[in-house]
Amino acid sequence: MRCISCVALLAWAALASPPVLAAVIDEIAVERGDAVPRVRVRLTGPVHYIRDYASKNGELVNVQLEALAPLLPGEPPFPDEVKYFRGDGAIPPFTVRVSLDPRCEPVPNPVCILIQYERPVRSHVRLGEDRRSLLLDFPIAPDENKRTPSTDNKE
């Protein structure tokens, strides 16, 4: 009898508790070894890249994707997911906000991502080879004060 009461209590607690929201972003990690600093934003499912656009100073980047399958099947709409990256060397801190709101992009399974850097930055966004990641590259700006041999010899 005691075991049945425990099971009933656990079942009631599971049904009465609020639903746990699933995540769209699996992890945000720096990748080492490339010529330019790079961050991989790994998603929980495969996506199709639609487009991205950045503000003039690069502090805001909007990325529109389409999930190849619903990332959260059977789940009701939920608030935006927000993740923070603390920065690493040449990569400034930033916040990633994910919205699955169908109004953000007119495709069957929209995934709209807003990346907000804490300072102006040059970055390039592309889809990873695994189709489950966004790669954020941070090209190193050429130092205009340095002279190269090709400019030293010109008259």
Mean pLDDT of the chain: 80
Q: How many CB atoms lie within 10 A of CB 10?
A: 10
141, pLDDT greater than 50: yes
pTM for the full predicted model: 0.75
Residue 85's pLDDT band (cuts 50, 70, 90): very high
- Arithmetic mean of pLDDT, 87-99: 93
CA–CA separation, 93 and 86 (whole Å): 5
Q: How many CB atoms lie within 10 A of CB 8?
A: 10
Q: How many CB atoms lie within 10 A of CB 85?
A: 20
Instruction: Give tens-digit pLDDT for 94-127.
Output: 999 999 888 888 888 899 999 999 999 999 999 9
Residue 56's pLDDT band (cuts 50, 70, 90): very high
Instruction: Give tens-digit pLDDT for 30-49.
Output: 998 778 899 999 999 999 99
Instruction: Give tens-digit pLDDT for 13-30.
Output: 444 433 445 688 999 999
Question: What residue ranges define each of the domains in the chain, with the CATH number in brackets?
Answer: 22-141 (2.60.40)
CA–CA separation, 99 and 78 (whole Å): 9
Residue type, 78: F
